[in-house]
Structure 1
Amino acid sequence: MKEIINPDSASSIELNENKIHFQNEYQYNTYICSIPMDFASVPVHWHDEFEMIVIKKGRGYVTLNFQRYKVSSGDIVIVLPGMLHSIEGKQNSTMEYENILFSKHFLAFDADDVTQQKFIDPFFNGDIQIRHYLTPGHTLYREISDIVDLLDEKSDERDYAYQLFIKGGLIQIIYLLITHPPKVNETTQSDKHEEKLKSIIRYISTHYYEDISIEEIADFCHYSPSHFMKFFKIHTGMSFISYVNDFRVTEARAMLTSTNDSILEISQKCGFSNLSNFNRMFKRKYGITPRQVRS
């Protein structure tokens, strides 16, 4: 079912692979998101689900494994499980996009099925080269865009057996992608950098409530502090401190709506030693104060 994203409950769904995208066994969901109204940007992250980003309005940028795509209304971006990606709007403008997410288990066949072995598993594992960026002028675009529209329609209607229709539509999209591969490999950056950045994000997700120094995280990466700061800035577009604070604020918003802890307790649990700093950073990201979230 398509829904407008609510920062009170969903703004943190994509910060790392441990977040929950689905509320039940039906592992398919869509969201409409708006930058900067819902959040200023989506920092670099990854997760285990397949994701399609469909630009509805405006312009911005989507980065996949260090490759930055300039996107505008109508464009479709394909994100495979495990791919590092981030989303940002164009400066001084708004961008609205639809997130379509589903688990690879949603389309699983029997393990011995030739379809599973020859196509589904290799597709989700990234072993089959596909196009990750589709514009309205591309050969595949109209077919995939029409399928997406039908999936949205069925998700909204939720009529009898709509789940079968959605599964069938997703299989069609995968078929189109794997039978129309790019002429060249779209992945241009090394896997070494990708894995290094993933290890950093994993570290942040399990230590964000601590006072993480540049020296500590640089030592974790076996980099000098100066080399680490340069590496992180180049590959995320943010300083390390800014990224950690953004992560903390996002976690705090989720806690504000899911716990009865006081605002002070939440700020401390998320790594802020100063309540005023927490309130200021929170309002900068969401445009409202923590107290207003609960009012």
Structure 2
Amino acid sequence: MKKNLKTEFSTRQYMLSQDFEIYYYSDRIVPTVEAHTHDYYEFYLFIEGNIIMYIDGKKFVPTPGTMVVIPPYLAHYARLVDSDVPYRRFVFWVTEDFIDNLGRQSQDYRYLTDKAKNSGSFFINKFTEIEFNTIQGKVFSLIDEINSNRFGKDAKIMLHVSDLILSINRNVYESQNPNIVNADSDSLYESIIQYIETHIDEDLSLELLSDYFHVSKFHIAHVFTETNGLSIHKYITKKRLDMCRDAILSGQDISLVAETYGFSDYSVFYRAFVKEYGTSPKKYRDNIVRNMGLPTT
């Protein structure tokens, strides 16, 4: 039997775990939950639907790609406006102790939780489509591992959850501090990586990179291969395939994914996808996404 990664909504507003809990919900009817508070952080990521959120006496209408970080003891609730579109969202609960433990490894894990806690209010961020698709892919990978029974499950879960938290913090930090990010990119390789990640849907030929960074394309190719172990072409292809996979997991139309993430020819995308994942995009989607409650094509 295939695993169902969608969670049936519960009005329970307390944690059963001492560390974290994460849920993917897709509903057309949602039982009424009155204003409530938690003694843990809530990361709320809105995918789609027609709702109004009420947090700390304020109300707003989230749009797809919106993330809200709600600190402990801040009253909040949501109301469904209509059910024409499924109300889809991720809810990620994480305790202060768990964040503290991660923070002992690196304060970078605490960036958003500290930001919300120190402000005494909630924090809202709007991700780009590419950023949000990547985050969705990470969430589904974490939920999939939680529902698995594979060797090394606990260790893999910790890798997934720490990667998710750090990725969310990094995206927000870099969007709010673009000048600092650019100043820290003190090597050609790091600058290339950053450029690729932020222009993945555009032309990334060696010629274009050479013009942009004002160095020869041969030097770029050499620096990249020496540092990464992959040719720059293979790295870009793999990065695009990863993003296409995340887009497929998030429910996007497969026929549009290739062009959206930089593949100008669908047949090239198809062959590369099969080589990377061992199956066609359609079969990959049917095998993994069907039981998540996402639309299929």
TM-score of the superposition, structure 2-length normalised?
0.45
If the length of structure 1 is used for normalisation, what is the TM-score?
0.45
Q: Is the helix fraction higher in 1 or 2? A: 2
